[in-house]
Chains A and B, each alone.
Chain A
Amino acid sequence: MVEDILSIKAIAEEEIKGANDLKAIQSLRVKYLGKKGVLTDKIKSLGSVPKEIRPEYGKTLNETKNHIESILNQKESFFKASELESGLKANRIDVTVPGNFIPAGHKHPISRVLDEIVDVFSSLGFVIEEGPEIELDYYNFEALNIPRDHPARDMQDTFYITDDVVLRTHTSPVQVRVMQKNKPPLRVIAPGKVYRCDADVTHTPMFHQIEGFMVDEHISMGDLKGALELFLHAIFGEDTGVRFRPSFFPFTEPSAEVDIACVMCGGTGCRLCKGSGWIEILGCGMINPKVFEMVGYDPEKYTGFAFGMGIERITMLKYGIDDLRLFFENDKRFLEQF
């Protein structure tokens, strides 16, 4: 009797193994476990099994039923899952088509570098100030110790609106305007457009500058060197060589020109640096006491440094741009590279 059950089990196992779709599994479930299924019949007729073998017979029958049910379930969920998968596979999209987004516009390289420089100084606690682009001769020249009829005016070819009003030739007038309105300590940068009556391969009549200055009671030239080295290393890399050499600006004294080791040859000399190994990058100095007097600061109490740099030049060096005019032509093929 027990043997009968075991042979049913063996046959059922074999049949389930051979089933290869959900339908076959469902009909096997009816065949063995349905209302009139083989195993259901056996359970119904359990009462007619002789008493002495009934416990063992009953146990085997129950185990077999559970076993068959479990492997049927297993197989059934396998077929269900694979049916779903193959259904999904048929419903496909072309994943290689580009995603739906608005291609972002580009930041002008001048803005890119200007923002980078502003960020470095902002992180050092410098605040940003602005001044007018059309400026009084007084702020652009006189207050910066550049009197009329002084040869220092030749350093900057000026666009005049009237005899007293000019297109500012540098961002330095912001120094005077800010100092007139505020008391030290001061840490300020002033970015903006400036104008010179000059156009050739290395000059455009409009360009961008950043002016920076710091005023307090104990600022020294050593501090000027420290602050600018910090800045130049942030922009051009930690290992960039930096050189300070004496120069002249009417509004700073002592004045310095700052060179960095040539970005192209690293200092051995090439066409870019005209063989010198150095590239002029900015002008700076200790604020001239005459400027302090103009704004009513006590030059015996306060000292400070100021610096100014051309953004186009730095941008050209950073990106290897070889034609200044590209900045203002606004050729899409140029702008797209930034």
Chain B
Amino acid sequence: MKASINWLKEFVDFSAKPIEIANALTMAGLEVEGVEEVDGDTILEVNITPNRADCLSIIGVAREIAASLSLPFKKSKIPVIKEEFGAPEIEIKAPELCRRYASRIIRGVKIAPSPEWLSKRLEAHAIRSINNVVDATNYVLLEMGQPLHAFDLNNLTGHGIVVDKAGSIDKFFTLDNEERALETDTLMIWDKEKPVAVAGVMGGLNTEVTLSTSDILLESAYFNPPSVRRASKALNLSTESSYRFERGVDINAVVTALERAVDLILQTAGGKAGKLTDIHPKPLALRQISVGLSKINKIIGVSLKDSEVQDILTRLGFDNKKTGDTFVVIPPSFREDIQQDIDIIEEIARLYGYDKIPVTFPKVRLTPVKVNTHRNLIKITKDFLRRSGYSEVINYSFLNPSVFDKLRLSPDDKRRNTIKIKNPLRKEENSVRTTLIPALLGNIGLNINHGEKSLRFFELSKVFLPSKEKLPEEPLHLGAVCLKDSRMPSSIWEGKHECFYDLKGALENLMAELKVKDYSFVDTDSCEPYLHPGKSCTIKVNNEVIGSLGVLHPAAAEALELTGDIALFELNLSSLFLHILPKITYKSLPKYPYVERDISIVVSKDINAADIENAIARIDSNLIEGITLFDIYTGSPIPKDKKSLAFSIRFRAEDRTLTDAEVDVLHSKMVSLLESSFKAELRS
């Protein structure tokens, strides 16, 4: 809100410079965000928090200046209006939505531009000058925070007002010449026949004050704040008036503001005023709030004396009396925000000065701290992937579902069933994501466009899946993607292997560090529609599929306009974390030496190394301690459809030193098994 220093000075005498006033207001909770000199005046830009409806006016800000600088606040005198004819007829049919309605008629006004002092002041406060009558209402709105409305009396059928809901009327032209759809509950101002204003939001075109207007009916009212807010939201129309009504105006100042406006109109537009109508069925009973001195001091962490508290309350205009330890406080009608003792404690802290509250340190009671293992696992996961060369990315949770077609997901794929946002920022991005893959591939695309050739990214984030509960499931997913240019390795040590193995290695390394029990990479054809059917596998833990890993399918790559050797995986980390060995158990060290034998075989390319290893291990699980694949070779002199594999096998017995003869037996068993099961040929 804007506030002119000159205008403020009409209500509080201060000699401090504008910048000092700005600072005092900021430190009292009315943050001044700008100080601008305009035409011999200084305009403060004050940020008023939603609880301080009383400060949405010049007198409100002036009261704060007076309270924080301990200066007297000059109350304006209520003008005495000379009444020359009768009062308007007002009826409130929805008393729960309109607690007070006051009005006077002024006849014989001459509509003209406002005097310069008035129009200048409005414009300095970002309100356009219209004519002397409308400007007078806006002037009082700025000065006192009470919105007023002037109707052209001669367009009001029956020259009276009825306050009632819209009911069956569903369309209405507002002053801004827009036809607005109404809800049945919207509170309207009616004449004897038709609606003439959306209460508290905007007047109607049908009763607008124009150059030909001679008689007006002036409205000053108190409308129920939530009702005005609902109306304003429904119409998508926020005005200076609705802004103040929805925060709450001072119900006890409704008539004062009316009189101020009538007086101003008589001065600037001439005319004669009639008698006052003031419908105020249930006058406000001021709240009485008790607060103990000891509680004040305990919560703020100070040791204020009675007199200091009393001084602050008095500066704020709060009636107060002390009995025993307790202050009985009566806040004024414009402080609707003061509801309970803690609100008064805040007022005291605020005016005492937050900066004067001594810094202390909380005394804590020792309590057992539960270790957040989940968080530790996340930390290990992130650290390990980084050590494997992968950088962390963070993407938005929003998703454009059209990407699912590019990823070739089948129409019934679960991931297409996304949770939708009712009011997305961009219409296409109307979902929250069910998979991390699209964003990760997007990151690759962006960086390829910058000329990057080697990229390794991972993201660890929740995805959102519909559930039977009110809230969706939010499993934690881990995704990673690797792009390599094998012709131009990023370091001289980097091998020429496919980036599939780079990514798989990072994941296996992580599994080992996390001590995941019983995981495997299972070769299935086309485990994911966006993965290369010959270069992909599912990731299983304890026989549960938790994700998949593979090379991006060329068709998906084309749809996403990506090129290069790209491998990626996504897995459900929440599921993975359930399969972590609970603790490490020590096994005693072997007492007898091992014997190592190498075996080199040629098999068909279709045979997976893991199947061979498993077969070897089953020959004698007691004596075969370990199997290591140490070479894969294709090319001359190996036939085209075959590959050569070399394993190193370590034998050991728990209770004796193995003899060569024993190992020979095992070795020949192994050879005949490989020959029979895998049609393997021994390489010499």
> Do chains A and B stick together as partners?
yes
Residues on A lying within 8 angstroms of B by beta carbon are 97-98, 100-108, 110-111, 125, 127-128, 132-136, 148-152, 154-155, 159-162, 164-165, 167, 185, 187, 193, 195, 197-199, 204-206, 214, 216, 218-223, 225-227, 229-230, 243-248, 250, 253-257, 274, 286, 288-289, 303, 327-333, 335-336
Closest-by-CB residue of A relative to B34 is A274
Shortest Cβ distance from B387 into A: residue: A104
Taken together as a complex, chains A and B put the C-alpha atoms of A77 and B455 apart, in Å, by: 56
- CB of B346 within 8 Å of the partner chain: yes
Q: Please list 30 pairs of residues, one from A and one from B, whose beta carbons are closer than 8 Å in the complex, sorted by A's number.
A: A98-B491, A100-B491, A105-B385, A105-B390, A107-B386, A108-B393, A127-B370, A135-B471, A148-B226, A149-B226, A167-B421, A197-B423, A197-B425, A199-B425, A206-B397, A216-B362, A220-B299, A220-B300, A220-B301, A222-B358, A222-B359, A223-B301, A223-B362, A225-B359, A245-B354, A247-B49, A248-B29, A250-B51, A274-B33, A331-B450
Are A160 and B362 touching (Cβ within 8 A)? no
Pairs A-B, 7 closest by C-beta atoms: A222-B301, A246-B29, A220-B301, A248-B49, A149-B226, A254-B346, A222-B360
Are B471 and A222 in contact, with the CB atoms below 8 A? no
Does chain A have a CB within 8 A of B229? Answer: yes
Contacts of A223 in B (CB 8 A): 301, 360-362
Q: Which of B29, B247, B298, B390 contacts A218 (CB 8 A)?
A: B298
Which residues from chain B sit less than 8 Å from chain A, CB to CB? 26-29, 31, 33, 49-52, 225-226, 229-230, 246-247, 298-302, 340, 342-343, 345-346, 349-350, 354-355, 357-365, 367, 369-370, 372, 375, 382, 385-398, 419-425, 432, 443, 446-447, 450, 452, 455-458, 461-462, 464, 470-472, 474, 490-493
Q: How far apart sit A133 and B422, CA to CA, in the bound complex (Å)?
A: 16
Given contacts A102-B388, A111-B382, A134-B471, contact A151 B50 (CB under 8 A): yes
Chain A contacts for B375, CB-based, 8 A: 128
Given contacts A108-B394, A193-B397, contact A136 B471 (CB under 8 A): yes
Interface of A is mostly: mixed
Residues in A whose Cβ lies below 8 Å from that of B395: 328, 330
- Cβ contacts under 8 Å, B33 to chain A: 274
Which among B225, B389, B393 has the greatest number of chain A C-beta atoms within 10 A?
A: B393
Given contacts A127-B369, A221-B354, 6 further A-B contacts (CB under 8 A): A105-B386, A134-B472, A152-B51, A223-B361, A225-B357, A254-B350
Contact A226 B394, beta carbon cutoff 8 Å: no
Please indicate the chain A residues that have their CB under 8 angstroms from the CB of B302 in the complex: 222
Closest to A278 in B: B26
Asked whether B396 lies within 8 Å of A105 as measured between CB atoms, the reply is no
A206, chain B: closest CB distance, angstroms: 5
**A335–B389 Cα gap in the complex (Å)?**
13
Whose C-beta in chain A lies nearest to the C-beta of B369?
A: A127
Roughly how many angstroms separate A324 CA and B50 CA in the complex, as a whole number?
A: 27
Q: What total of A-B pairs shows CB separation below 8 Å?
A: 230
A327 and B394 contact, CB distance less than 8 A? yes
Residues of A within 8 A of B470 (CB): 136, 164-165
Taken together as a complex, chains A and B put the C-alpha atoms of A185 and B26 apart, in Å, by 34
Q: Give chain A residues whose Cβ lies under 8 Å from the Cβ of B31.
A: 245, 247, 257
Chain A, Cβ-Cβ closest to B442? A330
Looking at the assembled complex, report how far the CB atom of A57 sits from the nearest CB atom of chain B, in whole angstroms: 62
| Complex CA distance for A277 and B512, rounded to whole angstroms | 51
- Complex CA gap A150/B211 in Å reads 38
Q: In the complex, A253 Cα to B362 Cα: how many Å?
A: 18
Q: A155 contacts B50, CB within 8 Å?
A: yes
How far is the CB of B468 from the nearest CB of chain A, in Å?
Answer: 14
**B residues less than 8 Å from A330 (CB atoms):** 393-395, 443, 446-447, 457
Contacts of A274 in B (CB 8 A): 33
* Residues of the A chain whose Cβ atoms lie less than 8 Å from the Cβ of B394: 108, 110-111, 327-328, 330
Contact yes or no, B455 A332, CB < 8 A: yes
Is B391 touching A335 in the complex (CB atoms < 8 A)?
A: yes
* Complex Cα gap A108–B460 (Å): 11
